[in-house]
Structure 1
């Protein structure tokens, strides 16, 4: 069997964790209001995450991991990839040298 490794275009922004959440909520058959209540967060906070205006914090990731049964790590890795991709494009590192071990 031949193995294939996933190749992602480095110029393509990784998905915000709110995008995944927006797809999962309708599949549950519950409203966003009900999901927010189950998570113990405000409806506005959930709408901000789904609208990709706020990140998934570690606290919310733990709650989402429990609710959907996939663990907090999935949500944190997805958010970290999104945040890192943006930071690499926004932060000027041109004056910082790259060090090597002696």
Structure 2
């Protein structure tokens, strides 16, 4: 199996950016996709604009709609969130604990 090598300084894509690339290939409008997912148009636009995360609920809906399962959408969101947290959260006063 080939493991992709990603520059650790590059933020993983937000799932909304990936979704924004996928939607045109469906031949459906964003409004139609929101309706099919059972979410508001504004909620979808907030995800696409990377203003909201993909929640487990939305991940399940996306996974069903696109046939790839919820896990891939949640993994993308987790990778994106972790990358930001590692750079924005001050952990300087937290010691690293080693097993005895």
Please indicate the TM-score interval, normalised by the length of the shorter structure: over 0.9
2:20 maps to: 22
Give the unaligned 5+ runs of structure 1.
Answer: none
Report the structure number with the largest CA radius of gyration: 1
CA distance in 1, matches of 2:3, 2:43: 36
Q: What is the TM-score with the length of structure 1 in the denominator?
A: 0.95
How far off is 1:98 after superposition? 0.6
How far off is 1:7 after superposition? 1.2
1:11 maps to: 9
Choose which of 73, 87, 99 in structure 1 pairs with 2:71: 73
Moved over 3 A (4+): none
CA distance in 1, matches of 2:14, 2:5: 18
Classify the secondary structure of the residue corresponding to 1:30: coil
Whether 1:95 aligns to 2:93 is yes
Q: What is the TM-score with the length of structure 2 in the denominator?
A: 0.96
Give the unaligned 5+ runs of structure 2.
Answer: none
How far off is 1:4 after superposition? 4.7
Q: CA RMSD in A?
A: 1.0
